[in-house]
Structure 1
């Protein structure tokens, strides 16, 4: 590239939590500016600088701002150089942040920087550089020390104009028309003079040959070594970025796959992969309120107090002292009253005395039995003043007990709830794994023992996203234009998630633009545990979910096709991210098909088990029951089918299944009234009326009223 060529635009990103708080502490930016000015052959202008903390999200956000496509008329950033965060310190995360969002990797640049630095100090091997291309921008990571950053940039700066022009879309044939010698001369390089030793020359030749002739192999080798040092995410990024199966959107529609590169898995194998890669549930402590309904206990609950905590009457009547003879028939004075109310001043009861008592009230000291009011007769009253109204009332004075010692003798303990008779002290009330039901029994138990807090498995958060330029809000009042479709998937899935006891996050509709999809998915991954998308998982050039997951998010696609009907292109992936505490965790993405029936069927079949696993609900997924077919059912010849049906309880208690009608995956009407998915095998002949199949219950059973 000649000095008369237009200036290339560079941006410098300083990664340092210290410098982010106090920019005056940074010296690397000024050093790198001087390299561009003094060693860049008048070909560079520094168009932007920024300082961010040692945080993956901040790094990726700023790099994306510089590198994502901009409106026509705006100059692109040709080169982004980062400085800082490439070492082995706990906070160093720049290589991970950058490698996860690269579309192509450049191992030759990494080799060039390391070779140059190693000629100066063996400690250069302690750096973990990353280099590559995102969209049309070359990105390289440099050490944080001004000296190391300078040496690394100087090692490659003369070759960067050529790389940046190619990344920006220049004609490669024209750029290489004069051969390598011409390129070296224009860049101010002399390959013969720069080969100090045979060993170094061999390394240079090795890298040059692999870079031009066998880039994929070089990429695998170099990236593996660059990320193998104690970083769990490295292997995930390496697997997904070295050999991505998805289409490369930058190659255009003519270069896309004509058949899916993803192997066709059975439903059971797909479910096994989901179970394997779904993280263990997180345990939290929460207050005992009605909001606990649907939650699962993560720890056994023991009674910290007995229930009841005092001896209480279970009837309205009279507390008595049963003599050894058991003979109580006779007339007794009423000496006190015990109500179901707080009391600390009960009069002790002696043999020959009785006390009026209400249901649930504590027994007076000395009492050992309660006689029901129905077995007594009022004999006399006395006038007294009501303790609260001060009005004159008649109070019981004498009561006759009618119990017959020969036929119905009084017994100690009759009509009394003893201390701990309902729930003994330290009794195991609820087990780990018990789910708090809406019936109310579990909440009642916890309230009875005075439990204020319990440990539960934290319910996962679920983000729901529809994709497609053709999708419009279902509430749009205007008539639809040609090619537009109302969004039925999102409202349906939001409803299904809520009914399953989880709280969904509605992320709306995303267009078929890779940068928009990528930014929306990053937002979803920050805010949720599971992301559900519909559409964009098939074979068209605008089906961008798989490439975005693999090539932009550094995720791993565990399966991209399932042998089932409907829902064959269902996709399941994991993406490594950092949580609020800086720990690396796996977030799940389910790419469901865009057809309405496919989306709902695959939600119940694949997403719900993952939700249950994250929430600690066992067994995960829909309940399975046998049903009898009420008519003949056609079968698909090649794929097992999950047939939408209505299951009812027959007069003899048998579950009977009836089809909802046409089962085309785009047919919303096939979901109307459906409460079951019939697990139908593939085959050439229909299943006959009266045969039994297994059904997955999506909703409540109905009675057969015919």
Structure 2
């Protein structure tokens, strides 16, 4: 049978605030993937009965998954409401599965009797609730996967006869589980069970008139991205300026004291603290070895950071001395200091950096997970402690393409065969490449792809082979020639995680994953951004940057661009969707102020020229205001350097 598409719901008040606290959800995803199946949806919800119920209903109505597994909220705690949320939705209950889960858990602990599992079907989707502990999750899934049980159940729910499973179980293999065989011997392009996109081989009149993809809330889309994407691996790279933007994959400790010996913090002369003011002979590194004790009546000229010679314990600054005599060149010109008069007696340890005063051997210099910024401090620290190489998360390579027969490449325009119309300059590739390269990402330019299935397949294959993330613009809406979703689902067996987001601009933004053998993970991700230039850039900053950062090993709480509170200098109209208004944010004595860049039409890329922020406007609600007035406050995503 084909791989099972699974959705995982973690129910936890704690994990809904801090995703790092979720241990059971990732455990489920790992187990099902090892069994040859795919986790295509995942979400963390608080112990909120209504939200749990709405999520299950939406996933089932979209036919997005074959099997929903929830973890958490099944006990007798005050907030445990998962059974109450799901039970009313079930069309056919599955008491046998409940018995299986309880009997398995009771083998390990009598406390399992306090669990209240629920199981059954809604349409063609199986729902099973598991406890919240990792241990219980592992035990329950082991029971469900035993002897191909769950594959048999899903096959029947899909409308199959179960003959394949019965034949396998009766073929003399002694009842060993055979779930791996269903997956690994099928070398055809994997096909998702639910293909929502239109069939591009059908006539134009047969295309969808209403998008089959649910319009999901912005916060759900953002959570889905960081939950689905896993960081790339760790590699060793030489310590150079090229490390900017990488994430440390190891703790960096100082291998020795810095400074290694006593050094000076000023330009001056090393001497003994017992030496009184007077005239002294000047020695230098050319006339005296550091290991030899400094002779009486001499001082040693030293520059900031230089080591002290043996026998000295203090440093007098140049400003506290006077030149007495010099050594002359053959032509009579002054060549070198010969004698200097010290004007003060310097106490011991003056102007000296002790060994290890900057860093002690074994000190933690930089912590795993830190960003090596382009400001230089982190790369400088690596050099300071003498690291020639360091282990880092690999930065993702991005493949980028634009779609549309109407597009012209600015640098190599080919005339279009349309009478009386010259086409449109491809704005998105240059603008997105500028943003990506400015952030230090390597970009594979796949060019302009015409509205043809074979051309789309060829370009996407090339992107999968040469990059870690695919970024496309155009071809995401309802036109008959909008091919990206159909190609991803039908030609690549990919999964559309979301195909519409309740936001403005950028409603048709699409986030998808495609199975692949060409990378570190079993799938690669793709963003299909809208074709309108302003929409493409806004959605790039809101969705793609968090994805790139997650791939690059950034902590989840650092994946999104920073947000600040700003005071509006212009009136901004509200929309039923969340809107990102392009602004110029300036810092002044009264704090941060945001000025609109003018018309916000999605095709007007000039609205982003000079913009360094995106004000996130709240949704317009029935009976509420239809605008934010001048002087109102709102949150803004910072996409560039603040102005003064």
State the TM-score, normalizing by the size of structure 1: 0.61
2:268 corresponds to which of 317, 341, 349: 317
2:435 is aligned to 496
How far is the alpha carbon of 1:413 from its aligned partner?
Answer: 0.8
Q: Distance in 2 between matches of 1:223 and 1:589?
A: 35
2:315 is aligned to 370
Q: Distance in 1 between matches of 2:323 and 2:480?
A: 93
Secondary structure in structure 2 of the residue aligned to 1:338: coil
Q: Distance in 1 between matches of 2:496 and 2:267?
A: 68
Alpha carbons of structure 1 residues 393 and 503: separation in structure 2 relative to 1, 3 Å: same
Range that drifts further, 438-447 or 514-523:
438-447
How far is the alpha carbon of 1:236 from its aligned partner?
Answer: 13
Unaligned runs of 5+ in 1: 1-92, 97-213, 404-408
Secondary structure in structure 1 of the residue aligned to 2:564: strand
Secondary structure in structure 1 of the residue aligned to 2:567: strand
Please give the per-residue CA displacement for 1:396-432, whole angstroms capped at 9, x wherever unaligned: 56544322xxxxx531111222222222222211111
How far is the alpha carbon of 1:390 from its aligned partner?
Answer: 12
Q: Distance in 1 between matches of 2:166 and 2:532?
A: 39
1:419 corresponds to which of 323, 348, 355: 355
Q: Distance in 1 between matches of 2:582 and 2:167?
A: 51
Matches within 5 A, 1:573-588: 573-579=512-518, 585-588=522-525
1:283 corresponds to which of 212, 234, 257: 234
Secondary structure in structure 2 of the residue aligned to 1:275: helix
1:517 is aligned to 456
Please give the per-residue CA displacement for 1:509-538, whole angstroms capped at 9, x wherever unaligned: 111111221121111111111101111111
* 1:338–1:362 CA contact under 8 A, matched in 2: no
Please give the per-residue CA displacement for 1:120-154, whole angstroms capped at 9, x wherever unaligned: xxxxxxxxxxxxxxxxxxxxxxxxxxxxxxxxxxx
Alpha carbons of structure 1 residues 679 and 418: separation in structure 2 relative to 1, 3 Å: same
Secondary structure in structure 1 of the residue aligned to 2:501: coil
1:241 is aligned to 192
Matches within 5 A, 1:480-559: 481=418, 482=421, 484-559=423-498
Please give the per-residue CA displacement for 1:358-378, whole angstroms capped at 9, x wherever unaligned: 433321111111122332345
2:526 corresponds to which of 573, 577, 589: 589
Alpha carbons of structure 1 residues 523 and 316: separation in structure 2 relative to 1, 3 Å: closer
Matches within 5 A, 1:383-402: 398-402=339-343
Q: Distance in 2 between matches of 1:608 and 1:225?
A: 49
Q: Distance in 1 between matches of 2:165 and 2:430?
A: 43
How far is the alpha carbon of 1:688 from its aligned partner?
Answer: 0.8
Q: Distance in 2 between matches of 1:224 and 1:697?
A: 59
2:500 is aligned to 561
Q: Distance in 2 between matches of 1:395 and 1:518?
A: 75
How far is the alpha carbon of 1:277 from its aligned partner?
Answer: 1.2
How far is the alpha carbon of 1:225 from its aligned partner?
Answer: 10
1:679 corresponds to which of 616, 622, 638: 616
1:299 corresponds to which of 207, 228, 250: 250
2:144 is aligned to none
Choose 1 or 2 for highest CA Rg. 1
How far is the alpha carbon of 1:627 from its aligned partner?
Answer: 0.9
State the TM-score, normalizing by the size of structure 2: 0.67
* 2:464–2:518 CA contact under 8 A, matched in 1: no
How far is the alpha carbon of 1:393 from its aligned partner?
Answer: 6.9
Secondary structure in structure 2 of the residue aligned to 1:550: helix
Alpha carbons of structure 1 residues 222 and 606: separation in structure 2 relative to 1, 3 Å: farther
Secondary structure in structure 1 of the residue aligned to 2:462: helix
Matches within 5 A, 1:44-443: 217-218=159-160, 228-229=179-180, 240-323=191-274, 328-331=275-278, 333-334=280-281, 336-338=283-285, 346-349=291-294, 353-379=298-324, 398-403=339-344, 410-443=346-379
Alpha carbons of structure 1 residues 584 and 690: separation in structure 2 relative to 1, 3 Å: closer
1:86 is aligned to none
2:545 is aligned to 608
Q: Distance in 1 between matches of 2:547 and 2:217?
A: 17
* 1:296–1:456 CA contact under 8 A, matched in 2: yes
Q: Distance in 2 between matches of 1:513 and 1:555?
A: 18
How far is the alpha carbon of 1:338 from its aligned partner?
Answer: 3.4
Residue 471 in 1 paired to residue 422 in 2? no
* 2:189–2:492 CA contact under 8 A, matched in 1: no
* 1:379–1:400 CA contact under 8 A, matched in 2: yes
How far is the alpha carbon of 1:311 from its aligned partner?
Answer: 1.8
* 1:466–1:509 CA contact under 8 A, matched in 2: yes
Alpha carbons of structure 1 residues 313 and 626: separation in structure 2 relative to 1, 3 Å: same
Q: Distance in 2 between matches of 1:529 and 1:397?
A: 65
* 1:277–1:574 CA contact under 8 A, matched in 2: no
Alpha carbons of structure 1 residues 591 and 235: separation in structure 2 relative to 1, 3 Å: farther
Secondary structure in structure 1 of the residue aligned to 2:627: coil
Q: Distance in 2 between matches of 1:602 and 1:594?
A: 11
How far is the alpha carbon of 1:620 from its aligned partner?
Answer: 0.9
Residue 700 in 1 paired to residue 641 in 2? yes
1:649 is aligned to 587
Residue 459 in 1 paired to residue 395 in 2? yes
* 1:318–1:373 CA contact under 8 A, matched in 2: yes
Secondary structure in structure 1 of the residue aligned to 2:457: helix
2:578 is aligned to 640
Secondary structure in structure 2 of the residue aligned to 1:605: helix
Please give the per-residue CA displacement for 1:557-613, whole angstroms capped at 9, x wherever unaligned: 111111111111111111111136xx6522001111111111111111111100011
How far is the alpha carbon of 1:283 from its aligned partner?
Answer: 0.6
Alpha carbons of structure 1 residues 399 and 671: separation in structure 2 relative to 1, 3 Å: closer
* 1:236–1:555 CA contact under 8 A, matched in 2: no
